[in-house]
Amino acid sequence: MNILPQTIKQIVNYGPHDYRLIKDAPLPIPQAKELLIKISACGICASDVHCHGGAPMFWGNGTSPSWVKPPVVPGHEFFGEVVGYGEGALEHFDVKLGDRVIAEQIVPCYKCRFCKSGDYWMCEKHDIYGFQTQDANGGMTEYMLFKPNSRVHKIPTSLSLNECALIEPFACSIHAVNRADIQFNDVVVLSGAGPLGIGMIQAIHLKTPKLFIVLDTVPERLELALRYGADIVMNPLEEDVVAKVKALTDGYGCDVYIEATGNPASVPQGLNMIRKMGRFVEFSVFSKETTVDWSIIGDRKELDIRGAHLGPNCYETIIDFFERKLFSSEGIVTHTYSLDEWEAAFEMAHSTESVKVLLVP
């Protein structure tokens, strides 16, 4: 039987550059149809780093309000164990005490036009764990609540801690690759071999395109890309990647370009690299705006521009891929820290020395 503490440690976001470790926060009490989860690990995402750094897309600017609602516990790449529940919660989620579980990062309202049409990941209210207080406190804590509208998935005991911690980011990776609609005869370029990029590499490899090229500026990540299925890797800081891709495609350019760097320079790079009528998938969260001449999209190339948001309907897929050994976590989780060490963890997550950084309470 679990003996629950009265107070817990958690990181709280009070505003840009103002995150604090609270060592005596009250244990959250689950209400009806809520689960109390003991967190096993929580990854630090690029969006967490950007939010901490004050990026306008999170905090607003002169024309848009703040999307983040502090004070809030950050973290959306979490998983843990069911240790408590409110009335009706076990039946509501079809779980039992002791189950390992993960909740998707979005908490849908199920009332807006998108939720009603089945496109729950585009929910108009758009509560995301780790950014909206009360409705969606996140996983950088010892214990958290899964809310009644959460989309909860059970995790088999066969998965390792690192695999479990990568379910959320790799679900996003699979969704982005699905958006690319990759065909067998395609030349595919992925820009960015960070944690989610490595997930995309594994998913693209399963799609078996004719030629698969990965771009990154970090040699260690390019080595991982080759290990996980890239045919060719290139460093944009060391060679003219646009010219080289065109040379490999009889001057036409790639069929598919997936942008997963968060670097504004990667966007015009892709627009110049992709062939006419190609498919450009934008996945990244940017810390600042990028500017391009939009005439290349319409008048010059008639491109198909697609966004990719979250990991809808992909959690069961990545869990299955891990179980069947079609995906691997090897070499991806590079650093783990305690909640007490959160500042060092965020600094490491922001550096090129890491791939995926975990907080393990």
CA 117 to chain centre: 24
The answer to whether the beta carbons of residues 140 and 40 sit under 8 Å apart is: no
Whether residues 53 and 149 share a domain: the answer is yes
Question: Side-chain half-sphere of 272: how many Cα atoms within 13 Å?
Answer: 12
- What pLDDT is attached to residue 274? 98
The answer to whether the beta carbons of residues 256 and 281 sit under 8 Å apart is: yes
Spell out the alpha helix ranges (H) of 4-60: 46-52, 56-59
Q: Are strands 274-282 and 304-307 parallel, antiparallel or unpaired?
A: parallel
Q: Identify the segments of the chain with pLDDT beneath 50.
A: none
Calculated CA dihedral for residues 316, 193, 294, 185, nearest 10 degrees: -70
CATH code of the domain covering residue 246: 3.40.50.720
Query: How do the residues of the chain divide into helix, strand and coil, expressed in percent and rounded to 5?
Result: 30, 25, 45
In whole angstroms, give the CA distance from residue 165 to residue 183.
Answer: 30
What sign results for the dihedral spanned by CA atoms 248, 252, 255, 258? Answer: positive
Whether residues 160 and 179 share a domain: the answer is no
Q: Is residue 316 included in any domain, yes or no?
A: no
Q: Is residue 65 included in any domain, yes or no?
A: yes
Q: What is the pLDDT of residues 62-107, one digit of tens each?
A: 788 899 999 999 999 999 999 999 999 999 999 999 999 999 999 9
Domain total for the chain?
Answer: 2
Whether residues 162 and 246 share a domain: the answer is no
Whether residues 130 and 205 share a domain: the answer is no
- What pLDDT is attached to residue 152? 98
Whether residues 202 and 286 share a domain: the answer is yes
Q: Is residue 318 included in any domain, yes or no?
A: no
Beta partners for residue 39, in sequence order: 80
CA 289 to chain centre: 20
- What pLDDT is attached to residue 1? 53
Q: Is residue 1 included in any domain, yes or no?
A: no
Q: Is residue 63 included in any domain, yes or no?
A: yes
Question: 111 is in which domain, residue-wise?
Answer: 7-166+329-359
Q: Is residue 314 included in any domain, yes or no?
A: no
Whether residues 87 and 35 share a domain: the answer is yes
Q: What is the pLDDT of residues 272-303, one digit of tens each?
A: 999 999 999 999 988 778 889 999 999 999 99
CATH code of the domain covering residue 351: 3.90.180.10
In whole angstroms, give the CA distance from residue 349 to residue 209.
Answer: 31
Whether residues 115 and 137 share a domain: the answer is yes
- What pLDDT is attached to residue 85? 98
Name the token pair of 46.
């690029």
Apex 175 CA angle, 171 and 176, nearest 5: 115
Whether residues 48 and 74 share a domain: the answer is yes
Q: Is residue 313 included in any domain, yes or no?
A: no
Whether residues 162 and 177 share a domain: the answer is no
